[in-house]
């Protein structure tokens, strides 16, 4: 059994999805909502396996909903956008239902769930929505126990390079981001994160102690982890000491 939530601001749209889902007894609808704000609440509350998500809605758009989810479910978009505007979905291999759609087209979208990993396919689009913002991102997408979740940037104590990726350390655990450390250094708020080594960033608000170490420093964050400052970044850390 897979838990399903339907998100559409039109009753007719929600009813049609329910009707078509009658052919799939393993897909159980546990909630319906008609706006983006309630969508975020219910998806974060129930952690469904699959969400049918409208894009143009009151409160928050479908894109904005994605950036506020704690755990990324499988998503099939339903939208009245024209086909040209949907090229972005095709690039990211995320399926969508273009209104009005037929029962056969609905079947294709549902069957696609069993032939690929739509959650992983959604990751590039989710990363883009989270990171390419006019403001510094408040959440980032990470991997945790074979799932994709988002965590608050403010929870990150420090970041270390992890091959081509990055490992984000919080007080409750460590998570892997698909972004390299240089990309994160460019994306995150420089008033919050300081680069202290070519392989590490530190959240200034998480610093517990700065200790002199030869000609450089060791930084201890609130969780107790120690982060070495390289000589090339020592001057930036020195400015924090008054």
- What are the residue ranges spanned by the domains of the chain? 2-126, 135-238
Helices (H), the chain: 11-21, 36-46, 62-66, 87-91, 103-112, 118-131, 181-187, 234-238
Residue 43: both structure tokens together = 């998806």
Which residues does 130 contact at the CB level (< 8 Å), separation at least 6? Answer: 67, 137, 139, 140, 141, 150
Architecture of domain 135-238: Beta Barrel (2.40)
pTM for this model (two decimals): 0.82
Supply the mean pLDDT for the chain: 90
Strands annotated E in the chain = 2-7, 27-33, 50-54, 74-79, 96-98, 139-144, 147-152, 156-162, 165-170, 174-177, 193-197, 200-203, 207-213, 216-221, 226-228
CB burial of 163-177 (b: ≥16 within 10 Å; e: otherwise) equals: eebbbbbbeeebbeb
DSSP state of 80: -
Q: Which of 29, 28, 30, 34 is nearest to 12 (CA)?
A: 34
Count CB atoms within 10 A of the CB of residue 40.
21
pLDDT tens column, 2-17: 999 999 999 999 999 9
The answer to whether domain 2-126 and domain 135-238 are alike in fold is no
Q: How confident is the model at residue 87 (pLDDT cuts 50, 70, 90)?
A: low
In this predicted structure, what is the pLDDT of residue 80? 83
In this predicted structure, what is the pLDDT of residue 92? 53
- Cα dihedral angle (123, 125, 126, 128), rounded to 10 degrees? 120
Fold of the 2-126 domain: Rossmann fold (3.40.50)
CA 229, 234, 236: angle at the middle one, nearest 5?
Answer: 115
In this predicted structure, what is the pLDDT of residue 119? 58
Q: Rounded mean pLDDT of 114-143?
A: 79
C-beta of residue 72 within 8 angstroms of C-beta of residue 140: no
């Amino acid at each position: 059994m897979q838990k399903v939530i339907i998100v559409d601001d039109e009753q007719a749209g929600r009813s049609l999805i329910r009707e078509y889902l009658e052919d799939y007894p393993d897909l159980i609808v546990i909630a319906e909502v008609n706006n983006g704000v309630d969508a975020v609440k219910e998806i974060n509350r129930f952690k469904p396996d699959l969400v049918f998500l409208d894009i143009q809605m009151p409160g928050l758009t479908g894109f904005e909903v994605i950036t506020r989810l704690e755990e990324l479910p499988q998503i099939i978009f339903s939208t009245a956008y024209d086909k040209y505007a949907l090229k972005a979905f095709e690039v990211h291999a995320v399926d969508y239902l273009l209104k009005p759609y037929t029962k056969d087209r609905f079947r294709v979208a549902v069957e696609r769930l069993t032939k690929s990993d739509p959650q992983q396919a959604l990751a590039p689009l989710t990363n883009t929505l989270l990171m390419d913002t006019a403001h510094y991102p408040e959440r980032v997408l990470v991997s945790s126990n074979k799932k994709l979740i988002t965590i608050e940037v403010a929870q990150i104590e420090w970041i270390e390079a992890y091959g081509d990726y990055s490992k984000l350390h919080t007080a409750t655990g460590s998570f892997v981001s698909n972004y390299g450390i240089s990309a994160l250094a460019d994306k995150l708020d420089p008033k919050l994160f300081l680069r202290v080594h070519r392989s590490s960033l530190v959240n200034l608000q998480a610093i517990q102690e700065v200790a002199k170490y030869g000609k450089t420093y060791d930084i201890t964050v609130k969780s107790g982890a120690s982060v070495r400052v390289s000589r090339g970044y020592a001057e930036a850390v020195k400015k924090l000491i008054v």
